[in-house]
Amino acid sequence: YRVSSKPAQQPDSPSEHESEEDDGEDHEEDEDSESQESDCDETSDLGSDEDDEEDDEDSGMNRKPLPSDINQGKTIFIRNLSFDTEEEGLEEVLLQYGELKYIKICLHPDTEHSKGIAFAQFKSKEAAEKCIAAAEDESESGGIRVDGRKLNIVAAVSREDAVKLKDKKVKTHTGTRNLYLAREGLIRSGTKAAEGVPAADMAKRTRFEDLKLTKLRDINVFVSKTRLCVHNLPKFVDVKQLRKLCLKAAGGGKLVRITECRVMYDKKPERGQVLGRSLGYGFVQFQEHEHALKTLRYLNNNPDIYGNTKRPIAEFSLEDGKKLKMKEMRQQQVKVLPPPQPQAQTLFHAQTQPQAQTQPQDQNQGRQYAGFQTTPVLEHVELEDGKKRRKVLALPSHRGPKISHFHQLLKENRI
């Protein structure tokens, strides 16, 4: 890697390069992706004449190789630097522990952006040990901080020791939000992976990344390990085509299980029939994380699927833990509820049996209440031939609102 170097005691102007802004949590995960051992390989480059000559050819400047003292223990390796930190600010903090010979912030070879790591060489071994001891203070107000970030400082090692440490190291991810997966499939402008990507696709990627960082500020949002979100799909891609493509990308064996596959439309489907137009993205959920990761790396930025102008943008889906818990609670409540019973129908019929009026109350308790119910009483008139017919009621004797029988008797002074 190319690094920007400046002797600590010279008041030269800081190296000019574009700063890279990123979210705090994601930057910490980015540091983890840069393994300490591989970065420590650069420590041997500090005293390598061959590598310094290559840097001179790249920069067009003739400079002397910086001294290497790996075996003397004067050089330290610094991680968790902010992308905006410059050598002057780092030097001001490290000078509290002793005099420095030089400071080097490592830059990405393609973008010339800071990688968030650096090397510094003290003039004495005691000063380096004092600095490392101060950085190991794990109290809330302890440690060494630069630009609001707590630095991780260790002693630099030689190339041979770095290779041994790299072989022994087993990387484990901690935490419940799976933030290390948020950067899977990320493509930054100016890198080799961004070569040939259309400008429209890069604009979409930038917008999706900003939206992702905004959502991840909520502690309830986490990155799913098995669910993918695939953007930039052509409008003709439906659920069957997307499922077939993902099965092929995951290997296509019998062990590959897709539990969910959806393409989003501007209208909700009815009775399995797709309505409206595709929104150009969908969700695919696998049963195993390995299959989801393999599919993401196959689909993401692949120009051979839908052409160079329509490269899929695949990433792990963001999930809201609070909403998922509410959904699970609703599903459990549905399982507990008894099956619905048919509602009792209200029947209006003539009351011919007197015992129907005196039904026990315990029989009516099991019935569902259906509102107000009436039992009409009909009057009959006996005819001359002995038959009965329904009595014809007279028309109302007055106009206007209905007058109750009680008010009628009160008006006639009969009560």
Q: What is the CATH number of the domain that holds 134?
A: 3.30.70.330
Q: How far apart are CA 102 and CA 42, in angstroms?
A: 15
Residue 247 and residue 224 in one domain: yes
> Closest Cα to residue 319, out of 221, 219, 184?
221
Give the residue from 334, 364, 395 where a domain finishes: 334
> Closest Cα to residue 150, out of 160, 159, 164, 139?
139
Residue 136 and residue 236 in one domain: no
Across 123-269, the runs of DSSP E, i.e. the strands, are 145-146, 149-150, 152-155, 221-231, 258-265
Residue 159 and residue 205 in one domain: no
Residue 194 and residue 302 in one domain: yes
* 342 found inside a domain: no
Could you tell me if 122 and 48 are in contact, meaning their C-beta atoms sit under 8 angstroms apart?
A: no
Residue 113's pLDDT is 81
Could you tell me if 223 and 178 are in contact, meaning their C-beta atoms sit under 8 angstroms apart?
A: yes
Residue 109 and residue 142 in one domain: yes
Residue 356's pLDDT is 45
Q: How far apart are CA 83 and CA 148, in angstroms?
A: 12
Residue 164's pLDDT is 77
Gyration radius (Cα) of the chain, Å: 39
Residue 101 and residue 142 in one domain: yes
Q: State both tokens at 161.
A: 């020791």
Residue 7 and residue 84 in one domain: yes
Residue 82 and residue 220 in one domain: no
* 344 found inside a domain: no
User: What residue ranges of the chain have pLDDT lower than 50?
Assistant: 1-61, 344-364, 366-370, 372
Give the residue from 280, 312, 334 where a domain finishes: 334
Residue 100's pLDDT is 92
Provide the number of structural domains found in the chain: 2
Report pLDDT digits (tens) over 26-35. Answer: 444 343 433 3
Residues contacting residue 13 through CB under 8 Å, at least 6 positions apart: none
Residue 15's pLDDT is 35
Residue 125 and residue 32 in one domain: yes
DSSP 120-149: EEESSHHHHHHHHHHHT--STT-S-EETTE
Residue 58 and residue 162 in one domain: yes
* 33 found inside a domain: yes
Residue 394's pLDDT is 66
Residue 234 belongs to what domain range? 180-334
* 409 found inside a domain: no
* 408 found inside a domain: no
Give the residue from 150, 172, 194 where a domain finishes: 172
* 367 found inside a domain: no
Residue 163's pLDDT is 77
* 96 found inside a domain: yes
Residue 68's pLDDT is 59
With 0-12 / 13-18 / 19 or more C-beta atoms within 10 angstroms meaning exposed / middle / buried, residue 135 is buried
* 388 found inside a domain: no
Report pLDDT digits (tens) over 141-196. Answer: 788 999 988 999 999 888 777 777 776 666 666 678 888 898 899 998 888 888 88
Residue 195 and residue 133 in one domain: no
Q: How far apart are CA 315 and CA 296, in angstroms?
A: 7
- Bridge-based pairing of strands 278-286 and 380-382 is unpaired
Residue 277 and residue 310 in one domain: yes
